[in-house]
Amino acid sequence: MNYSKYNLPAVFSPVLTPINADGGPDTARLLKQCQWLDANGVGQAIFGTNSEANSFSGAQKIDALEKLIAGGLNSKHMMPGTGACSIDETVAMTRAAVSAGCSGVLMLSPFYYKDVSDQGLYSFYAKVIEKVADSRLKIYVYNIPQVTKILLSVPLLERLVKDFPTTVVGIKDSSGDWPYTESVIKALAGSGFQVYAGSETFLMRNLRAGGVGCISATANVNPRAIAALAGKWQDAGADQAQADLDIVRSVFAKYPMIPAMKTAVAHFSKDSSWAHVLPPLIDLTAEQQKALLLDLEKIQFTMTGL
Amino acid sequence: MNYSKYNLPAVFSPVLTPINADGGPDTARLLKQCQWLDANGVGQAIFGTNSEANSFSGAQKIDALEKLIAGGLNSKHMMPGTGACSIDETVAMTRAAVSAGCSGVLMLSPFYYKDVSDQGLYSFYAKVIEKVADSRLKIYVYNIPQVTKILLSVPLLERLVKDFPTTVVGIKDSSGDWPYTESVIKALAGSGFQVYAGSETFLMRNLRAGGVGCISATANVNPRAIAALAGKWQDAGADQAQADLDIVRSVFAKYPMIPAMKTAVAHFSKDSSWAHVLPPLIDLTAEQQKALLLDLEKIQFTMTGL
């Protein structure tokens, strides 16, 4: 495991969630997957966008988290997603993660209403922090405007960091908008704010600019190589390693990413139950699965030890 | 109460939700408000967008629903919002509404992911229906693309009605896109599909075209006049009555609607606790409140019996 200077894994994956017959998280398979990721140097940001977090209920997620911890995962390598549209649900999930000893929580903004104000978002986070009422709480806010239609403005981040300096400690930026990421680093990284890029595509740029790592979908399928780059980014050959990562990502990005990654896990683990997503997402068609596996073969991609 | 030909209230309001000190629904005040709406001819579509439904947890909403029913509300006049991002949460809330004997449920589409397919949405609804497994279930799908970024296509609606003819029985269309509303009526109203417009602005057009009524924010503050028009829409003077409704709506629409309507309820009920919304929404400023009340005075607007 390569760590950031803040002692957290430098690379996390929003862990894909296998689904049981009742439509809930298959906690046994999920535990195994988290163990595999950990062994390959990647922390577990369970219940992110790529985990289909919002397709499960709060109760299902809290139950799964408890089972993962009971199964022996290292909570210091975990950063569960806990943000929901309601303060009450966000608080319940956040408390569960803090009680489990997780390093941090990845907190989505309340995403139902559109055109919400910075003041409204600030009040939401402030109320969650007040209600969780636990000094161990470390929040990484989650910026993913293409899904939430909310861009976390730099002034909002500055206000949160100023008012909750030991609690609001970082961000996952999935905007894909590098000038924005860079502006957050310039404004806040100097005072210890931890900026994770939302994709390994930006890993080198982020680390060179003063960010700490990445939390990336593709870390579900290509963990070892991504985690390795986070440890040798100042070495010769790092740019080539970045280019190699980009090739793998570009193959998955040709398909709907979540079912494509699940197809890869199903294929390489020889466990077809992995290939399914929950509505409103849909599984890859048989044709898409075949094309993806052919594309992966062409680049000699494999997942070992699954 | 004016009823549609399907024996449901022709006008519903997405009931504003008063908030208690802990940030949950203030069920005593909510009960009183529902009773006032009912007495003024308006059914209660509790837990809609204007109810800040997604700012409460499922547990908070189910508890409130049970207290409203225990408080004596007529469940035949109720159409609770039950849609959430996850199948599990949608099923739990829907079961509670069906068990309570509600006339129908207003079901939002799963709104986290963007660019979801008709197939994915179909599977979501089909799975919810399968899991609720109750022949009393009557679903009114909720089309509000400006918030969900999902437009329920006519082919999707046709497929749902074909496969679940006694369950998927209507729609609330809040798109504000009259050609779309009209296309749904043309495709499906003939076979008994109930089209409610999402605002009283479209009440006359909707009734004339073959729709059944409206489910409208402003029915929270102007219930009697809107409900009256649904009963006399074929009379002389109906167009003038529609124009009068539009004047009231246009005043509220000058402000953020939800806190503006709550300000009006607080003012006319002399109960200032009504004036608050939950984050990420924000209360009107003192200046906005003053301006709104002045605007309402100019059109001699009042709410009696609160």
* Tens of pLDDT, residues A293-303: 999 999 999 99
Determine, yes or no, domain membership for A256. no
* B228 CB-near residues (< 8 Å, 6+ apart): B2, B41, B241
Tell me if A280 and B121 make a contact (CB, 8 A cut-off): yes
Q: Is A116 in Cβ contact with B280 (below 8 Å)?
A: yes
Query: Judging by beta carbons within 10 Å of its beta carbon (0-12, 13-18, 19+), is residue A231 exposed, middle or buried?
Result: middle
Residues from chain A that touch B127, judged by Cβ atoms under 8 A, are: 23, 279
- Residue-wise pLDDT for A131-187, tens only, equals 999 999 999 999 999 999 999 999 999 999 999 999 999 999 999 999 999 999 999
Which ipTM did the prediction report? 0.97
Q: Do B57 and A59 touch (CB under 8 A)?
A: no
In a domain, A281, yes or no: no
Q: Of B86, B117, B282, which has the smallest distance from its Cβ to A55's Cβ?
A: B86
The Cα–Cα gap between A147 and A33 comes to 26
Q: What is the pLDDT along chain B (306 residues), one digit of tens a residue?
A: 999 999 999 999 999 999 999 999 999 999 999 999 999 999 999 999 999 999 999 999 999 999 999 999 999 999 999 999 999 999 999 999 999 999 999 999 999 999 999 999 999 999 999 999 999 999 999 999 999 999 999 999 999 999 999 999 999 999 999 999 999 999 999 999 999 999 999 999 999 999 999 999 999 999 999 999 999 999 999 999 999 999 999 999 999 999 999 999 999 999 999 999 999 999 999 999 999 999 999 999 999 998
Tell if the CB–CB gap between A281 and B57 is shorter than 8 Å.
no
Chain B residues with CB-CB distance to A92 below 8 A: 57
Structure-token pair, residue A264:
């890869």
Tens-place pLDDT, residues A266-278: 999 999 999 999 9
**Chain B contact for A113 (CB, 8 A cutoff):** yes
CATH of the domain at B130: 3.20.20.70
Please indicate, yes or no, if residue B292 is contained in any of the structural domains: no
Look at residue B254 in the predicted model and tell me its pLDDT.
Answer: 98
Question: How many domains does one find in chain A?
Answer: 1
| Residue B254 in contact with partner chain A when CB distance is under 8 A | no
Look up the domain containing B151 and give its range. 11-236
CA distances from B62 to A46, A120, B55, B56 (A): 28, 26, 14, 10
Contacts of A59 in chain B (CB under 8 A): 88
Q: How confident is the model at residue A244 (pLDDT cuts 50, 70, 90)?
A: very high
Checking DSSP bridges between strand A43-44 and strand A11-13, what pairing results, if any? parallel
Percent of chain A with pLDDT over 70: 100
The closest of A136, A142, A110 to A215, measured between CA atoms, is A142
Could you say which of B86, B116, B127 has the minimum Cβ distance to residue A56? B86
- Is residue B90 less than 8 Å (CB to CB) from chain A? no
CB atoms within 10 A of CB A70: 11
Q: Does residue B128 belong to the interface with chain A, where contact is any CB pair within 8 Å?
A: no
Nearest 5°: phi and psi at A143? -100, 110
Tell if the CB–CB gap between A113 and B279 is shorter than 8 Å: no
pLDDT for the residue numbered A31: 98
CB proximity B110 to A under 8 Å? yes
Spatial neighbors of B70 by CB under 8 A, at least 6 apart, are: none
Q: How far is CA A39 from CA A105, A304, B214, in A?
A: 21, 11, 57
Let me know: does B195 contact B173? Beta carbons within 8 Å: yes
CB within 8 Å: B147 and A112: yes
Indicate the DSSP class of residue B21. Answer: T
User: Domain for residue A273, yes or no?
Assistant: no
Which DSSP state fits A196?
A: E
Contact B114, B80 (CB under 8 A): no
Query: Chain B residues with CB inside 8 Å of A114's CB?
Result: 146-147
Segment 131-190 of chain A within 8 Å of chain B by CB: 131, 146-147, 149
- Residue B70 falls inside a structural domain: yes
Task: Map tokens 């699965």 to a residue.
Answer: A289
Phi, psi values for residue A101, rounded to 5°: 85, 20
Contacts of A72 (CB under 8 A, 6+ apart): none
**Chain A environment of B59 (Cβ under 8 Å):** 88
Q: Which positions ≥6 away from B157 have C-beta within 8 Å? A: B141, B168, B171, B184, B187, B188, B193
Which residues on B lie below 8 Å from A121 (Cβ)? 279-280
Give A-chain residues touching B92 at CB under 8 angstroms.
57
Residue A67: φ, ψ to 5°: -70, -35
Q: Do A57 and B92 touch (CB under 8 A)?
A: yes
CB atoms within 10 A of CB B112: 22
Instruction: Among B86, B92, B282, select the one facing A119 at the smallest CB separation.
Output: B282
Q: What pLDDT score does A118 carry?
A: 98
B58 touching chain A per CB within 8 A: yes
Q: Decide if A110 and B59 are in contact by the 8 Å CB cutoff.
A: no
**Gap from A19 CA to chain B (nearest CA, Å):** 13
Compute the distance between CA of residue A233 and CA of residue A224 in angstroms, rounded to an integer.
Answer: 14
Contact by Cβ (8 Å): A58, A92: yes
Domain membership of residue A269 (yes or no) is: no
User: Is the Cβ–Cβ distance between A214 and A178 less than 8 Å?
Assistant: no
Chain-centroid distance, C-alpha A83? 12
Q: Does A130 touch chain B (CB under 8 A)?
A: no
CA nearest A118: which of B82, B280, B57, B69? B280
- Report CB contact under 8 Å: B127, A92: no
Find the length of chain B: 306
Alpha-carbon radius of gyration of chain A? 18
List CB contacts (< 8 A) between A58 and chain B.
57-58, 89
* Interchain contact A279–B (C-beta under 8 A): yes
B115 burial (CB, 10 Å; 0-12 / 13-18 / 19+) is exposed
Residue pair A212/A192 in contact (Cβ under 8 Å)? The answer is: no
Q: In angstroms, what separates the C-alpha of A110 from chain B's closest C-alpha?
A: 7
Residues of B in contact with A119 (CB under 8 A): 282
Q: How far is CA A116 from CA A70, A124, A153, A305, B19, in A?
A: 39, 11, 12, 45, 19
Query: For position A37, what pLDDT does the model report?
Result: 98
For range A205-223, the mean pLDDT: 98
Q: Which of B49, B52, B54 best tests the A interface by mutation, with the highest count of A CBs <10 A?
A: B54
Structure tokens at B261: 């309507």
What's CA A109's distance to the chain center, in Å? 14
Q: Does B243 touch chain A (CB under 8 A)?
A: no
In a domain, A195, yes or no: yes
Kindly report the backbone phi and psi dihedral angles of residue A139, in degrees, each rounded to the nearest multiple of 5, phi listed first.
Answer: -100, 130
Question: What is the nearest CA distance from A99 to chain B, expressed in angstroms?
Answer: 20
Q: Which residue of A has its CA nearest to B113?
A: A147
A245: in domain:
no
Q: Which of B55, B123, B149 sits opposite A279 (nearest CB)?
A: B123
Write the CA distances from A255 to A148, A261, B37, integer angstroms: 21, 9, 50
Assigned token pair, B80: 């609770």
Q: Write down the pLDDT at residue A143.
A: 98
